[in-house]
Structure 1
Amino acid sequence: MNKGDILAKRYKIVKIIGQGGMADVYLAYDILLERDVAIKILRNEIASDAVSLLRFKHEAVAVSKLSHPNIIEIFDIGEHDSRQYIVMEYVDGKTLKQLVSDRGGLYQEEAIYIMRQLTSAISEAHNNEIIHRDIKPQNVLVKSDGSVIITDFGIALAQNALHLTQKETVMGSVHYLAPELARGEKATYQSDIYALGIVFYELLAGSVPFSGETAIQIAMQHINKPIPSIREFNPTIAQTVENVIIKATFKNKQQRYKSALEMLRELESVFDEDKKDVKKLATDPLLVSDDKTKVISKLQTVEETQKNPKRNKMRKRNVIIASVLAVVLLFGAIYISMLPKQIEEVVVPDVVGLSLDDARNRLLDYGLIIGTIDRDLDDELDVNNVIKQTPRSNSQVEKGSQINIVVSLGKYFVFGDYVGRDYDVVRYELENALKIVIRTEYSTIPNVAAGEIFSQSIVAGSKLNPNNTVEVKFVVAKEQEITIPSNLYGMDIYQAQKILEDLGAKVILEPITEGSPEFLAAQEKNKVHSTLPARNSIYVQTENSSVIIKYYEDTGPVVPDPEPDPEPEPGDGA
C-alpha cells in the first residue's frame, strides 16, 4: 500500500506504522467520519494461505465481540486487491515495551495502575470465552494520559473452538509463554494469567525474568526455573505485590488465580492496611503431572506408601524406566544436533535504497527473509525506502536467514535561519511544512524593522522529525514605542532632536511663523516651544510617522519698515 491509496472509497492511507508476522499496519484517514484509523492489512505473500487467512478473520470476529476501554476497538473489515483488512481505532502513543525500554523499571504504583487496566481487559475477554494467548508489552499501547490499550488478538482462541493447527497450540512469544504451552498443552485462561504475571515482573524490573540464546532455552526455564524474586531486585516493592507475581506465575496452572477477575481484585487491594505484614507466598514443591496437574502433599505420599507398598514399588520402577528413557532421548538429541549439517550459504544482496516491498521480494529471490524492521528519518531517502541492512550486502549467510533492515520514515526537515526575515512569511512557510507550535514574543528593538524576526529558539540547521510536533519561539521586533520626555520644552532644538532620535523616533524641526514681526522677534530663538505629540505622551514610531518639534527660528535682527515719503503741500514747486 502506498500513501494516498484509498480503500473502500473511504479510508485514505497516510503512512505505515507497524509490521508483524502476518500483516502490515497503516495509519489512515476515514473520509466519511473524518477521523484517523489504523488498518491492519494481510501481507501479499500469505494472503492465499488458508490457515493465515482464517486466523486473520478470526481476530476481527474475536475482538468485535469485546467492548472495553482497554481493548482495541474494531470499526470495519473488508478486502482490497484480494487482501483482507481490519479497520480499528488509532492510538497515538508508544508501546508498553518502548516505555519500559526508555525508562527501565517503573514505580510500583505506576506498574499496578497499568496492570489493573490490562487484567480488567483480559477479564472481559475471558468473560466472552476468548483467550488472548499473546499477551506481551509489544501488544499494549500507552496513551499520553497513561491509559493502555491491548491489541493484536491475531492468535486469540475461543475457549470452545477447535485449533486451526496443532502448531498453533504453542504460538505466542516465548518470553511470556506459560510452562504448559511450552510442553504443547492446550491454552487456558491460566495461560493468559501467567503471561500477565511475567508482564508485571517486567514492568517492575525493566526486563523479563528469563533470557537465553534460543527459544528452547527460554522455554525450558519457564518449565523448570522459579521466577526470580522481584523484591531481591528492589526491596522497596511491597510483599503483596510480589505475591501477585508469584501466584500468577506458578508452574502448576491449578495454583494460579482461578480467573483474571480474581487477579484484578488482588491488584486492587495490595496496599490495604490489613495486608501490610503479609508473608511471602510459597507453594508445595511436590507436583505430579498426569492428565491433570495435581498437588500432592508429603503426608499424603507417606500414607499411600504405607498403605500400598507393592503399588509404590511398581511406581518406583516406572519412574526409573522413564528416567532412563529420558536420558537416552536427551543424549540422542544432543548427538543428532552435533552431527555435521549441510549448510547452503548465499550472498546477501544490496537492498539499501529499495522500497520495502521491493526489498522483501529481492531477499526472497535469494532465499532470505526480512527480520526486524526499525524506522528512522534520513537525509535523502523518501518514506518506506531501506536506509540500512544487517548483515551488509555481499556478506555470506545461511540460506533462510533473516536480514534486519532500517526503513525511512521520510526526510528530515532542516530548520532554517529565519533571523531578519518577515515573521508572517516565515510562519506561513513553517505551518505548511511541519506540525509546529510557534510562540512569539514582541519586543522593541532599536534599528530592527517592525515585523522582522530578531531571534529564534531552534538553532539553524537543526534536523527535525516532520512527523512530530515541535515548538519554536521567535522574538519579533515591534514598532518603537516611546514616551515624549517632559524636560524637552525650553531645550536647544538640536539637543532635543538627538534625545528623541536616540529613543528611536524620527524628528522634524518645524519653525513657528505665525505672529507679527515684533512678536516673533520677542520670542526665545531655537528653543523647544512645544512638541507634537505633547510631552509625556506615548508615541509609536511607524514607517511614516515623526515627532514634530516646534520652535521660534532665529532669522537675524528685525529691520523696521521704511517710513513713506511725505506728500507735497499744495502750491509747492508750482
Structure 2
Amino acid sequence: MRNSVSKDLPNFSQIMTEKIKMMEFYNTVRQLGKGTFGTVQLCERIHNKQKIVVKQIVTELEGQQLEAAKNEVVILKSLNHPNVIQYYDSYIQKGLFYIVMEYASKGTLQESIERERPKYFTPQHVMDLFCQILMGLDHIHRRKVIHRDLKTENLFLTGLKADVIKIGDFGISKNLVNGKMANTVIGTCNYLAPELCDGKPYNSKSDIWSLGCILYEMCAMQKMFDGTVSNIVLSIANGRKKTVNTKVYGKQMQEIIDMMLQPRPEDRPDTLALMTHPDIFPSLYYLGSYLGCIE
C-alpha cells in the first residue's frame, strides 16, 4: 500500500495515528452488511457493552474506494450533532482500514417505510422525522459540506421512547472549500437533482432536492422518482412529480415538497429558510426543546 495521502485530506495522517490498539477493546457481535470492498460489523465495547459499528475496508484497493473512506473519516470528524451519526475512531491494521462509529439500533428509514407499508406514517411522525433530518442537514451545510447521497437508506433510526433519526454514510460527500461548486456526478439516481442529471455544477441545494424526495417518500411510502435509470432521469428533467394524499397530510405538506423540488437550484430554499417556514417551525421548535437538537 502506498503511504501517499490526498492533498484534499490534510488531516488524515493525524486521524489515523496510534489506532491499532483499539482492536483490543471490542468484540464482534454480527455482520450488518457486506460489499465488494469490505464489510460492516456490529461490535460491542468490552468495558461497557456499548454497541458500535465498525466499517472494514480493504486498503490495498487504493484509488477511489480508499479515497472515499479517507474522505468519510475527515468529514465525520468535523461533524457533531444529535441528528448526524457520531464518528468515534479510525485506524489501519493488517491491510484493512477501519472506521468506528455510532450504532443506530432501529435500522434505516427505508427499512421502517418497508415495514409500515401499505399503511402510512401519521402526519406528526413525518414532521418529527423531517425536522430532525433538516436540523442535521443544517449542521452539515453550515460546515460547507454537501452530502451528495441523501436517501432513506442513509438515514438511521435509534432512540428508546421516540424515533431519533441520524444522517450517515458520508463516503461520497464533498467538502466545499470557500463555497466552491462541485461538479462530480455521483449519488443515487432516484434522488438526483436536475442539475446533476444535466452534468452541471451544483451546491448544497442538491441536498435540498433530495430532502424533498425523502419527505414525499415518507408520506407516500414510495419513491418520488422510480423505474429504470433512463425513466427516472427523463421524469426529473420533465418535472413529472407525484403528489401526496392531501386528505391525510394537508396541502401544506405538498407545498413544502414543491418548494424543495424546484427545477432551478436558486429557487429552492436553504436549510435556514426551511427551518423558519411557518408550517415547519412549530414542529421544529418542539423537537428542539424535547430532543435538544437545536444548536
TM-score by length of 2: 0.80
The one-letter code matched in structure 2 to 1:90 is: Y
CA separation in 2, counterparts of 1:73 and 1:49? 25
Aligned to 2:97: 84
CA-CA distance at 1:136 after TM superposition: 0.7
1:141–1:31 CA distance, 2 compared to 1 (3 A): same
**SS of residue paired to 2:140:** helix
CA separation in 1, counterparts of 2:44 and 2:130? 31
Aligned to 1:225: 239
Q: Is the 8 A contact 2:246 2:254 kept in 1?
A: no
Higher relative helix content: 2
CA separation in 2, counterparts of 1:20 and 1:176? 22
The one-letter code matched in structure 2 to 1:261 is: L
The answer to whether residue 279 in structure 2 is matched with residue 265 in structure 1 is no
**SS of residue paired to 2:249:** coil
The one-letter code matched in structure 1 to 2:193 is: A
Aligned to 1:67: 80
Q: Identity rate of aligned residues, in percent?
A: 25
Aligned residues: 257
CA separation in 2, counterparts of 1:207 and 1:52? 30
CA-CA distance at 1:148 after TM superposition: 0.8
CA-CA distance at 1:10 after TM superposition: 2.2
Q: Is the 8 A contact 1:120 1:261 kept in 2?
A: no
The one-letter code matched in structure 1 to 2:276 is: R
CA-CA distance at 1:34 after TM superposition: 4.3
Mapping of residues 138-217 of structure 1, within 5 Å: 138-143=153-158, 144=160, 145-160=162-177, 169-212=184-227, 214-217=228-231
The list of structure 1 runs, each at least 4 consecutive aligned residues, that deviate by more than 6 angstroms after superposition, is none
Q: Is the 8 A contact 2:235 2:241 kept in 1?
A: no
CA-CA distance at 1:199 after TM superposition: 0.2
CA separation in 2, counterparts of 1:174 and 1:160? 25
Q: Is the 8 A contact 1:131 1:187 kept in 2?
A: no
Per mean C-alpha deviation after superposition, the further-off stretch among 259-268 and 188-197 is: 259-268
Aligned to 2:261: 249
Task: Spell out, residue by residue over 1:265-297, the C-alpha distance to the aligned partner (whole angstroms, 9 max, x if none).
Answer: 2252478xxxxxxxxxxxxxxxxxxxxxxxxxx
Give the root-mean-square deviation of aligned CA atoms. 2.4
The one-letter code matched in structure 1 to 2:265 is: K
What are the ranges of 5 or more consecutive residues in structure 2 without an aligned counterpart? 1-20, 284-295
Higher relative strand content: 1
**SS of residue paired to 1:148:** strand
1:111–1:162 CA distance, 2 compared to 1 (3 A): closer
The one-letter code matched in structure 2 to 1:153 is: F
CA separation in 2, counterparts of 1:121 and 1:24? 26
Aligned to 2:124: 109
CA-CA distance at 1:238 after TM superposition: 2.0
CA separation in 1, counterparts of 2:152 and 2:271? 17
Q: Is the 8 A contact 2:144 2:179 kept in 1?
A: no
TM-score by length of 1: 0.42
Task: Spell out, residue by residue over 1:492-542, the C-alpha distance to the aligned partner (whole angstroms, 9 max, x if none).
Answer: xxxxxxxxxxxxxxxxxxxxxxxxxxxxxxxxxxxxxxxxxxxxxxxxxxx
The one-letter code matched in structure 2 to 1:260 is: T
Aligned to 2:289: none
Task: Spell out, residue by residue over 1:428-475, the C-alpha distance to the aligned partner (whole angstroms, 9 max, x if none).
Answer: xxxxxxxxxxxxxxxxxxxxxxxxxxxxxxxxxxxxxxxxxxxxxxxx
The one of 136, 143, 153 equivalent to 1:121 is 136
1:81–1:35 CA distance, 2 compared to 1 (3 A): same
CA-CA distance at 1:12 after TM superposition: 2.0
CA-CA distance at 1:140 after TM superposition: 1.0
Larger Rg: 1
CA separation in 1, counterparts of 2:38 and 2:88? 17
Higher relative contact order (CA 8 A, sep 6+): 2
